[in-house]
A and B are shown apart, each in its own frame.
Chain A
Amino acid sequence: MSKPDPAPNRKWTNPVMMTACEIHCPSTCVALGPVLTNSDSKLICAHGGNRGMNLRLTVFSGLSQEMEATLADPPTQIMHFVNEKSTMPNIAVAAGPSVLVYKNLKPFYKFTVPTSPINPTEEEAWKAVALGKINHNTLMKVLQKVTEDVAFSKLTPISQTYMLSDKEDQLALIEKWGGKITNCPTITCITKILKSKAEGLDIMVIATEHCDIFFLDSQAFTTLHHFKLPSVPVVIRGYGEFDVDWRLFVQTRDSLIYNLKRDTTELRPAIICQSMITSLILLNKFLVYTTNDNIITFSSFRGKKINTVKCTEKIKMLEPFFYEHKQLSAVIAVFEKKIRMYNETHLLDTVEYQKPLNWVRYGMYGREDSTLVVCFKDGTIAIQIFRRNADFRSRTNYNEAPASHALKLQIPKKTKVFIDNTEREKKLGVKIHQAYQKHLFNLRFKIAESYQTLTASAITTVSTTSVLPVEIAVDINGFGPRHRMSIRLLSSSKQNLYDMHLSMISDIDVYEFDTPLIPISILASGKPYTFTTLLRCKDPEKSATSEVRALLVHTKRATPIVTAVIKMPFSEFALE
C-alpha cells in the first residue's frame, strides 16, 4: 500500500502554512490563549513596528487574522493570563514602565511600577531646563557630571535616553518630560504563577530595570511580594502555586540564575555561568538554559548540572514541550533552519525546514493542544500538530558519533621494557633516526637495483615496459624425447603490435628446436595467440635438463619485451 507519508515515525504532522500574516516580532511578544470566554485558543502577537509606527496587537485564529488593536508603546513582552474565572481572559502587554491589560483587545487597566527616588542634582537640572533657566547643552553637561558620581544605569530612563539621543530628540524629550520627570524603571520581563489549582487564577510577576521583582495580585494589582536583586533580571520563570509553594527562577543580565522562594532572604545565585546565558526555560524538574557557546545545559533546581549538549550551531531559543496524553516532555531547541527535541539524556527528534526560523511556540492553538507554531524569518507561520501515535522510543545520543569512535583503544601497560625503550629513545634519538634513515636509503637502493636488473634481463613473465604490456604463458606437452611447446601471448596494450619475433633459447647441447624463431606479424590487443613448436631432447640418457627461454623480441628494441623461463621436465627414453 502506498503511504502518503515518507517517514512513518515522524513526530509532527506536515506543516500547514499561513503565508499572509506578516508576523515580525520577537518570541517574547507571542502568546497562545483564548481571547473570549470559552473560545478556541488564538495566536496573539504584539508587533514592535518600526520607529513607533505600526504598533499593533494582532490575534490570529485558524489560518487568518481575526482581530487587531493598536498599541501606544513598543511592547517588551506579552502574556496571556486569567484573573477572573467567569469573565474574559486578559492579555498583559509590558511596554516601558507599565503593564497594559487588554480584555477582548480593549484596554482595560494600566499598571505602572512604583517610582524610585531621583538623584537630586538630576531632578533639579530637569526642573531648571523646563523653566528655561538652562539650555539643553547645560543639561547634558550636568547629567554627564552626575554620571561621574553614580552609574549611568542609576539615572532615570529619560536621562539615559537623553544622553544617547541627538539634539532634535533631546529637545523633544525636554518638551515632553521637562518639569515632571519621574524615575519609573522600564519593565524587563513579566511572567505568571498560578495562585492555586483550585482557583485557577494567575499572579503576575514583573521584573524591572531597577532590579525589583513585584508579585502582583492580578485583580487588585496590589503588591503581594517583593524582591530586590543585586543585578538586572532579564528572564523570569515561575513554578508551583503561589498559595502553596512556589519558586521563581531569575536570569540576570550578568548570567546568574537565582532560585527565589517565599522565605528567601539571602540572595545567592543557584547557577553562575561563565558564558552568556541566552535562553532559560523550566522543564518538569529541570532548569534548561543555553549559553552563547552553543551548549544546552540541564540542571536541577538547586543548580546541579545534570547533563550538557554541545551543539554545532547557534541555538536561537528554547521552548518547553509537554504532551500530557502520554506524559512526554522535552525541550525544543531552535536552530537556524531546524528544530531539535532533547530530554535530559537523549536527542529525540529533528525537524528540518526550508526557510530560516524566527521562533517557535508550543501550546494549544484552535482546538488542538500540542500544536507547534513555527514562525519563519520572512513572517510566515507553519502550524504542526504532535501526532497521536508518535512516541520517543527511538532516541539517539546527543551527538551521534560513528560506531568506530566508540571502540576502546588498547593502551599497553607501562612495562619495564617499555620504559627502558623510552629512555633509550630519549637519549639516543638522533642516532636512532640516522640509523633508520640509513636503512631506509639502503632498502630503496636495493629495490632500485633489483628493478634495474629485472628490466635489463627481462626474465619475468610480465612485461616490464608499461608501453607494451604483453603476457606470456608457456605449456610443455609430451614425455620426451620429443616435446611440444605451446606459447600463449596476450597483449593488453591499446594499439596492435607489429613486427615481433618469438625466440627460443636453450642449451644447444641438450635441446633442438624445430622452429627456434617464430615471426609474429601482429598481436591484436585483447586477443590471445598461440604458437607451437616442437623440440627434441638430444640425449635422454644423460638425463640432463636445462632451462628453456621464450623471448618476445622486437626488431627495434634492445631488450626483450617479455620473457618466459621454462623449467623442462626430465625426458623419457625413446620408445625404440
Chain B
Amino acid sequence: MGFLSSLSNLFGMGKKDVNIVVVGLDNSGKTTILNQLKTPETRSQQIVPTVGHVVTNFSTQNLSFHAFDMAGQMKYRSTWESYFHSSQGVIFVLDSSDRVRMELLKDELWLVLDHKDVASRGIPVVILANKMDIPGAMTCADITAALGLNLHRSGTWSIHSTCALTGDGLDKAMQQLSSEIQKYLETRKS
C-alpha cells in the first residue's frame, strides 16, 4: 500500500480529494483569492459578487481541493454552516482594512469557530487577513487581538496576511492548510 501510494504520488495521480469552504464578509476577496489559486490560464479577468456559491477546483502538491466559494452578503451568510459538515477545512477571508465591520467580523468568525461541525470535528480553520497592501490596513497581530482569537483555545486556527491581487502570502497559507488537513485526515483514520 505504502509503495503504491508513493508511486501514485509520483505520477501526480490519486491525489486525495478534499472539500473546503471559503467564507467571509462580502467584499473581502474570497473569489479573488480562489481565482489566484487557479492555474494562470484558467483565471477569470472579472470578479463579480458571488451569488449563492461557486465550486472552484485547484490542487497543491498532494491534495486536490474542491473549494466552495460562498457568497458573503448578509442574506447569504446563513447558508455557510450547511457546508461545514461535508468539508475538511475552512478558509475565512477578511478585509484587514475594514475597521467599521471588525465587531461584526468577530461575531461571524466566532460563529464559524464555535459551529458544531467545525469545533467538534476539529477541522482546520485558516484565517486570511486579506488586502494587506491597502495603506492603513491592520496587521495580523492587531486583527488577532481585535477578534479575540487568543481566547479561542480549542480547535485549530491560524492567521496569515495575504494580498489576493498579487498572491502574496497565499502559498504559505495554502501549505499550512494542506498540512493541517492531512493531519486532520490522519487523526480521523486512526
The chain A residue with its CB closest to the CB of B154 is A1
Q: In the bound complex, what is the Cα–Cα distance between A399 and B62 (angstroms)? A: 63
Q: Which of A3, A367, A388, A389 contacts B27 (CB 8 A)?
A: A367
Known: A388-B78, A389-B111. A13 touches B106 (CB 8 A): yes
Q: Within 8 Å CB of B99, what residues of A?
A: 16, 62-63
B151 at the interface (CB under 8 A from A): yes
Indicate if B104 sits at the interface (CB-CB under 8 A).
yes
Q: Does residue A77 face the partner (Cβ distance < 8 Å to B)?
A: no
Would you list which residues of chain B between 51 and 108 have a CB under 8 Å from chain A? Answer: 74-75, 77-78, 98-104, 106-108
Within 8 Å by CB of A388, from B77, B100, B148, lies B77
A22 interface hit (Cβ, 8 Å): no
**If A15-B103, A385-B103 touch, does A325 touch B75 (CB 8 Å cutoff)?**
yes
Residues of B within 8 A of A384 (CB): 103
Say whether, besides A325-B74, A368-B74, A4 and B100 are in contact (CB < 8 Å): no
**Centre residue among B27, B77, B78, B104 by max chain A CB count within 10 A:** B104
The listed residue (B26, B100, B152) touching A62 by CB distance below 8 A is: B100
The size of the chain A interface, using a CB distance under 8 A, is 24
In the docked arrangement, what's the CA distance between A63 and B103, Å?
A: 13
Report whether B106 and A4 are in contact in the complex, using a CB–CB cutoff of 8 Å.
Answer: yes
Q: Does any Cβ of A come within 8 Å of B137's Cβ?
A: no
Give the number of residue pairs across the A-B interface with Cβ within 8 Å.
60
Q: A4-B148, A13-B106, A13-B107 are in contact. Are A368 and B153 (CB under 8 A)?
A: no
A5 to B108, CA, bound (A): 12
The binding surface of chain A is classed by DSSP as loop
Residues of A within 8 A of B154 (CB): 1
Within 8 A of B (CB), among A373-392: 383-385, 387-389
Q: Does A1 contact B114, Cβ atoms closer than 8 Å?
A: yes
State how many angstroms separate the Cβ of A46 from the closest Cβ of chain B. Answer: 22
Contact indicator per residue, chain B 14-58, by CB within 8 Å of chain A (1) or not (0): 000000000001110000000000000000000000000000000
A2 part of interface (Cβ distance < 8 Å):
yes
Asked if A370 meets B74 with Cβ closer than 8 Å, knowing A1-B114, A1-B153, the reply is yes
The yes or no answer to B174 lying at the interface (CB within 8 A) is no
Whether A13 and B103, one on each chain, are in contact in the complex, defined by CB atoms closer than 8 angstroms, is yes
Q: Is the CB of A63 within 8 A of B111?
A: no
Contact (Cβ within 8 A) A16 B114 = no
Contacts of A366 in B (CB 8 A): 100-101
Q: Is B119 part of the contact surface with A, judged by Cβ < 8 Å?
A: yes
Q: How far is the CA of A3 from the CA of B111 in the complex (A)?
A: 11
Residues of B within 8 A of A385 (CB): 101, 103-104
| B151 and A388 contact, CB distance less than 8 A | no
Known: A1-B153, A15-B103, A388-B74. 13 other contacts (CB 8 A): A1-B152, A5-B107, A14-B103, A16-B101, A16-B102, A16-B103, A63-B100, A325-B75, A365-B100, A367-B26, A370-B74, A387-B107, A388-B77
The 21 sampled A-B contact pairs (Cβ below 8 Å) are A1-B119, A2-B152, A2-B153, A3-B110, A5-B107, A5-B110, A13-B103, A14-B103, A15-B103, A62-B100, A366-B100, A366-B101, A367-B25, A367-B26, A367-B101, A368-B104, A369-B74, A385-B101, A388-B74, A388-B77, A388-B78
Which residues does A use to contact B, with CB under 8 Å?
A: 1-5, 13-16, 62-63, 325, 365-370, 383-385, 387-389
Q: When A and B form their complex, which 4 residue pairs have the shortest distance between CB atoms, in order from nearest?
A: A4-B148, A13-B103, A14-B103, A385-B104
